[in-house]
Structure 1
């Protein structure tokens, strides 16, 4: 039966390419109605209310509304994307009444997850939404592919916006003057960056880029994975077959995917050769199995035919009729040398080709790591790959360079003044954390006392010794649970592969010994006997049943799971051994069929390896990790986090066994879990800063990419953001943070320093009120509820607080110095705080301990634990912050919080102060004598929030020095 309503709405929405318009008027024009009043929207409202799953009309509106909600370019609305205000503007433009609005909003809630954060130079707009829609053959095909794969409307729209943000900052491919933009896209480890650069490629070739070079990792395995992904989801069957009939078996001889079980069913089909459908073809210059060797058909492969010979290739009359060329090449000196030699033979046409260079894992091999101090006569010396990339950019003056990485620190520390290098001078884009992604928040409780660590994280030792056997048991047990779920209605697709990663060392000889140990342990594990089953049953009860996802099928007892344990053991032991070693110095070492997750139906193995498992290589189905390798670089350590990623249908089964006291060097141990937490904090701080500075001020960027390096921080002194040879060009001087929390955590441990700090704080303690004020924390969602807490208060002048902060001893003075510089700056652009409300929360109850410090009135003590490096993980209580934020002007005042209202006034900040006792020094009650506590046992720790700006907005700033070769005599860059 024809769905007339769906067809009409499809026609109407198709006509709204520029944004929402008066729906009824447009529907009247496109329908056969005699009067506008004949368009009865009540039928649409009823359809929404009564619709069941899979209703095409609702799906159509879901796609459309979500796209409008997320659109960054919306000349029909001044409201920010992803807000209720934007949706209200949409309804207003559509002319919908209250009942229809309510029904639509219930069916399609506003998607409010954050979008990409963009730091950019000012650029000339050329790639509007109309421009993109006018030529969108490959993007439309890619979008449909993603939807067939099950991507949600919000995910597709988010990718659309993020990839559009990249392409619009490239140079117009038809621009007469050659310009090569340089950009960087920052994702998360194993978070789908390939999807973003596939979307960018689709939009770029649609727009006119005719040569795409993807630098796809340093291994054939990684390069071929990228090639296959692009072939499958973008280039498509017809371009791969080069016009051959798919039914002609003779014509298919030699096609590189004949042995691929997904060919051709899962490879996108354009419905015909694109050039016969009004678009253009894509010619592959590399294949799944063949990296770039030489131009197989001679130099003529890159000779573009011109419709108008007297005009350059980039002229629209020629550009939009020419085929695009795509190659995926390994970052290998020999391969890139062949490419450069061939390009040099082509001649002047190179200056006419709009080209796009995508550098996957751009902080690996691509960055120049030579020491400027050792350059001869000031001439830049380059490492091999970096030198070849700069040559490539020089040969192609219309080439746009876009790097992709999850660890951007090395890239943003590239010398901004080196015009030939890959510093992202034009834009830096931080992608949002994707829905369904397991990342830092799932393994580390950064903001509060959560359950992430309890759920997923285990030490590698317990009271009985090494837990490698337990980790292997967990691998077998989770395999059985996956099989059980697949048999009970959970789609089997996510469970195609099931892997465990054991990562202890970078030494190949140690990998062989470890693999032998695991194999021996496997054969002694008695998984077919009573002893093995007893261990698995106990592990199921004490661990996996406790943290099982309530929304997924679960066995009521181990007996229900036992048949699946047998099958899991068989799958893991296929081939006779459960272990694969993943290492080696040559490509041959990686040519193992069981490492090819694309072409192998099922990989159920324990992978043992080192460096090659920690960069770019996606371990599919990873469920259990046993990890104890160390490094002193944060970006290297972050790339080892292979347990981050998408875990559909089994995220509750993921377990990380990680070393808590691992030897590193002479007489030194490190806590790897703490190290990961520190670098995760560094990464989140960096992303938070990018988000803050992404907002335009008076239509202008707050910062440019050249001013980004000082936003990089480190929470552990021994764990640098990147290797020393990648950090030549930045020195942080100041962080300005109006309306933003500053929470120093590196306090001294020496007795004299602690007593000194108590003496500095004593006048403030003596000025605290005798009676406690009662502050209120309100629920942040629609639930009713609040929390009250008492606190002693005082008001300090800015001079008083600055005097205290300037006089304190710090465990890491360098970490607090940029914030102190901000507090000292009382100029018009500096700290807009005249005085501060000092809040000292008080506790009550049987375990509460109060004590006098150096004769002060009694104040209650709190416990915070230092990590092994002497730094506190956190200071302030989350429940205590709301009132302080009201006082500082970050939150609106509330009648439910009268004391905050009384204390709030313009240009007033707030300080939360805590007398902290480290439990390693003893129980607070035992440290108090005759109502007093020795200040050597107390850290007076503060978190503060400066007043928001006079305009009522919280706009942070930075001031710093950046080493820039183009301004040797003037190294200071000021951000006003």
Structure 2
């Protein structure tokens, strides 16, 4: 039976390519004369209501996709409301002409998706690639979008990918423009967060728009390159282009096709339902395959020659461009491979190469691609490059229309590239930071970033993180092996009750990483194998040990909605099957390392061709960058590095863990207990990196807002924004320094928390003396404050007082710091708040009081007793978190930093709030346990750190003023973000 309502709505929405229009009028215009349009909103409302009750309905799904797409669209000339807001949705309803009742039903069925979108720092015009342009030519993007939906991607995820990939393509040069321009950009994602999906979407849209040569630099090993090639073949290039016109029903025609041994071929490979060129689109010719990297072209240079419909016009002319086939290759960052490619391009010659719109995608662009030669050689006029960087520069030089887009999760090496080196890969045109995807396990799932009590683990740490040592048993590697077999059994148990989970549990892996030395890998693999066979997993003792671990470490953290057995006996049958799968082939261990490609050509490690990889993987760096360790559930990690990007890339435990996120365990090196040699706390190091990256992303988001139509920062000004929360852990290995000094950061309505307090006793005494008069302004009787009216458990007591703005400035200007540059840009902002009549009247000073029976109070320099807070430095002079979330939220509300602050519901808090009032929260911090309090109840100021956090009122900054201001150190270097550092560090 024909669903007339669905058909009508589909036709009407198809006509709304440029955005929502009056539904009833458009339906009347589209409907046949013989069959009046059914525009009754009541019928539509009833269908949506029924679907919301669980009936399921294609019409509701259609509107779910449409409304979500409109909600997320960054380009929306039909609405002035920002994306992902109720206001944008209301604009859509107004244009559609929907009544209140229908709006309410649709809002219930399709809630507005309010998660943040990509952050864009750009100097590139985007006029050439509109939504209309994208819709007219969308053959490969449409196929990719449909595939993602079949794979189970939500409407919000697909719409988000659509917007993020569109944001990249619109910042490339128009492939049909007469003058050649090569844009340079960088896309920053999270480790194992779906960057490949984004650049697959970018590739689809770019070739639809007219790019005809795509070069993907896919890692430094065939292991990684092949993984990327397969992904593009499966999700973008498709069956028909792989077969090159061969009949899929003819067995002889399939001989030699890459994927005959792949269990996903052909069902899971996208099908275009015919040869694209026959369907009115264009074909894609692969110049590499799953197993073969780029080789000298077997057919000579003809494989890179493009047929022109009109020979008198250049290839980039629209009449030629949109009829030509695209070429795609996935190549390793390997000197020999890239040399062959460059040699073939040179044979073609400059005139033709200058006509080819080219897209170069550099996966893991901070690995091998960045030039790391000695800067002193450049100062001496010797242009030297590392091998891969030099070859990338040659490619960009040979292909004037080449657009370079780097992808990485650790962007610091890329943003430190010298922008004055015109042939290098500095992202001069744009930097796009992708949002954290829904369902992704990342920083917040393993680190409690707001935790201030260093002796207590937060909920994230308790659930997922374990040390590698235990006082009772020593090294916990054996426990990690037990956790691996238990988690495997739990996956089998869940799959037995929910068959839809089987695809997620196809692979089950454990990663052990202790060293980069291959000889040590062999010894470690032997040790693990011996431990496995001595574990007695079939004995009563072994089962008793597993039962104890299951009861203590998995039952308490079982996730709601994921089935978990109530007892070990219920799980026990699945333990036997898990042991068999892990021990298949006679060993539970695979070593993944080596100097040659042959060392990595292990069938048991091929996640694509092997039905089930249930193994313990032992390896080093080669198991890090770009390589997806499928099914990773347990990690045992103890390697140390002093480079943040190297350490972060080893975070393979980040990623998507559908159906088993509660089972993920990270055994990681912690500081040794007393009596053992002190070692680096790797967990602490990861947390420091996480803070650096979250700060970096947050700053990009703040400064991406346009002021007078111009960006507040350009890509060339990004390096000074890179922070460092751990003094010994450098952002990257580049020997660079900044040319742009960060002078001012305006943070109205933002919590600012300095952490670089001094360590010298004289400086600590000085700071205490500076703050001492402020303490006398505090009321003797504490008051109770809440973060909001309903959060009774989050209330706290505090002494409060007020301080004039000028008086606070005097205090802040006199303070001493271990790293003055950390707070000085914020201080500069406070000093200039009086400009333009937008100032701050006064500050509410808040001193939280502890109410615990274990609290410690002491006076300093004759003050009234103060509640002391214990905090630890993260090595060097920098503390970790200082402020507590409940204090921070109360401060934000008092300073009226948001609409929510005005409606806090707490009468005491509201009575303290003011439009021109800032808030300072004081924390008298001690680092020793127990603190050195004298018998008289006093503490020497040399033992006290007077720490604080503050919020300037939102009204303290003009709305059209830049939030950041820079000063050039070397004026002869112009706008360069960085300059070379000499050998002496000067």
Instruction: Tell me if TM exceeds 0.5.
Output: yes
Task: Report if aligned partners of 1:733, 1:818 keep a CA contact under 8 Å in 2.
Answer: yes
Aligned-pair CA distance for 1:954? 9.8
Correspondent of 1:913 among 912, 922, 926: 922
Aligned-pair CA distance for 1:843? 3.5
Deviations 1:540-594, CA, capped at 9 Å, x for gaps: 0001011011211211211111111111111111111111111111111100111
The residue that corresponds to 2:948 in the other structure is: 942
Task: Report if aligned partners of 1:511, 1:581 keep a CA contact under 8 Å in 2.
Answer: yes
Correspondent of 2:280 among 278, 281, 286: 278
Task: Report if aligned partners of 1:912, 1:943 keep a CA contact under 8 Å in 2.
Answer: yes
- The answer on 1:486 being equivalent to 2:486 is no
Task: Report if aligned partners of 1:413, 1:730 keep a CA contact under 8 Å in 2.
Answer: no
Aligned-pair CA distance for 1:874? 1.4
1:367-446 aligned at under 5 Å gives the runs: 367-375=370-378, 377-446=380-449
The residue that corresponds to 2:469 in the other structure is: 461
Correspondent of 2:576 among 566, 569, 592: 566
- The answer on 1:244 being equivalent to 2:246 is yes
Secondary structure (helix, strand or coil) at the match of 1:173 reads coil
Q: Normalising by the residue count of structure 2, what TM-score does the alignment of the two structures yield? A: 0.94
- The answer on 1:675 being equivalent to 2:685 is yes
Correspondent of 1:537 among 544, 547, 551: 547
1:594-743 aligned at under 5 Å gives the runs: 594-661=604-671, 669-725=679-735, 731-743=741-753
Task: Report if aligned partners of 1:875, 1:941 keep a CA contact under 8 Å in 2.
Answer: yes
The residue that corresponds to 2:44 in the other structure is: 44
CA 9–875 in structure 1, closer or farther in 2 if over 3 Å, else same? same
Deviations 1:623-674, CA, capped at 9 Å, x for gaps: 00000000001111100100000100000000000000279xx986211000
Secondary structure (helix, strand or coil) at the match of 2:432 reads strand
The residue that corresponds to 2:143 in the other structure is: 141
Task: Report if aligned partners of 2:796, 2:849 keep a CA contact under 8 Å in 1.
Answer: yes
- The answer on 1:927 being equivalent to 2:933 is yes
- Rounded to whole Å, the distance in 2 between the matches of 1:895 and 1:714 is 35
Secondary structure (helix, strand or coil) at the match of 1:276 reads coil
Aligned-pair CA distance for 1:885? 2.1
Unmatched tracts of structure 1, length 5 or more? none
Correspondent of 1:767 among 760, 777, 783: 777
1:197-212 aligned at under 5 Å gives the runs: 197-212=199-214
Query: Which stretch of the first structure deviates more once superposed, 253-262 or 784-793?
Result: 784-793
Aligned-pair CA distance for 1:487? 0.6
CA 867–340 in structure 1, closer or farther in 2 if over 3 Å, else same? closer
The residue that corresponds to 2:984 in the other structure is: none
Task: Report if aligned partners of 1:739, 1:947 keep a CA contact under 8 Å in 2.
Answer: yes
Aligned-pair CA distance for 1:36? 8.0
Q: Give the RMSD, CA atoms, in angstroms.
A: 2.4
Query: Which stretch of the first structure deviates more once superposed, 862-871 or 85-94?
Result: 862-871
CA 840–850 in structure 1, closer or farther in 2 if over 3 Å, else same? same
Correspondent of 2:823 among 816, 820, 832: 816
The residue that corresponds to 2:220 in the other structure is: 218
- The answer on 1:796 being equivalent to 2:798 is no
- Rounded to whole Å, the distance in 2 between the matches of 1:53 and 1:589 is 53
The residue that corresponds to 1:968 in the other structure is: 973
Deviations 1:405-449, CA, capped at 9 Å, x for gaps: 000001111111222111111110000011111000000011257
Q: Normalising by the residue count of structure 1, what TM-score does the alignment of the two structures yield? A: 0.95
CA 300–802 in structure 1, closer or farther in 2 if over 3 Å, else same? same
Task: Report if aligned partners of 1:357, 1:400 keep a CA contact under 8 Å in 2.
Answer: yes
- Rounded to whole Å, the distance in 2 between the matches of 1:148 and 1:829 is 56
- Rounded to whole Å, the distance in 2 between the matches of 1:390 and 1:126 is 27
The residue that corresponds to 1:860 in the other structure is: 867
Secondary structure (helix, strand or coil) at the match of 1:274 reads coil
- Rounded to whole Å, the distance in 1 between the matches of 2:426 and 2:757 is 36
Aligned-pair CA distance for 1:388? 0.7
CA 953–546 in structure 1, closer or farther in 2 if over 3 Å, else same? farther
Secondary structure (helix, strand or coil) at the match of 1:585 reads coil
CA 526–303 in structure 1, closer or farther in 2 if over 3 Å, else same? same
The residue that corresponds to 2:102 in the other structure is: 100
Aligned-pair CA distance for 1:243? 0.7
Aligned-pair CA distance for 1:750? 4.3
Aligned-pair CA distance for 1:839? 1.4
Task: Report if aligned partners of 2:916, 2:956 keep a CA contact under 8 Å in 1.
Answer: yes
- The answer on 1:957 being equivalent to 2:966 is no
The residue that corresponds to 1:188 in the other structure is: 190
Secondary structure (helix, strand or coil) at the match of 1:325 reads strand
Deviations 1:790-828, CA, capped at 9 Å, x for gaps: 432233334433333333333444433443444445673
Task: Report if aligned partners of 1:738, 1:955 keep a CA contact under 8 Å in 2.
Answer: no
Aligned-pair CA distance for 1:835? 3.8
- Rounded to whole Å, the distance in 2 between the matches of 1:401 and 1:831 is 43
Task: Report if aligned partners of 2:799, 2:846 keep a CA contact under 8 Å in 1.
Answer: yes
- Rounded to whole Å, the distance in 2 between the matches of 1:823 and 1:214 is 47
- Rounded to whole Å, the distance in 2 between the matches of 1:250 and 1:821 is 75
How many correspondences in the alignment? 964
The residue that corresponds to 2:15 in the other structure is: 15
Aligned-pair CA distance for 1:875? 1.5
Task: Report if aligned partners of 1:217, 1:330 keep a CA contact under 8 Å in 2.
Answer: yes
Task: Report if aligned partners of 1:738, 1:956 keep a CA contact under 8 Å in 2.
Answer: no
- The answer on 1:525 being equivalent to 2:535 is yes
Aligned-pair CA distance for 1:86? 0.7
1:575-594 aligned at under 5 Å gives the runs: 575-594=585-604
Aligned-pair CA distance for 1:223? 0.6
Secondary structure (helix, strand or coil) at the match of 1:27 reads helix
Task: Report if aligned partners of 2:718, 2:977 keep a CA contact under 8 Å in 1.
Answer: no
CA 969–846 in structure 1, closer or farther in 2 if over 3 Å, else same? closer
Aligned-pair CA distance for 1:741? 1.6
CA 844–168 in structure 1, closer or farther in 2 if over 3 Å, else same? same
Secondary structure (helix, strand or coil) at the match of 1:407 reads coil
The residue that corresponds to 1:6 in the other structure is: 6
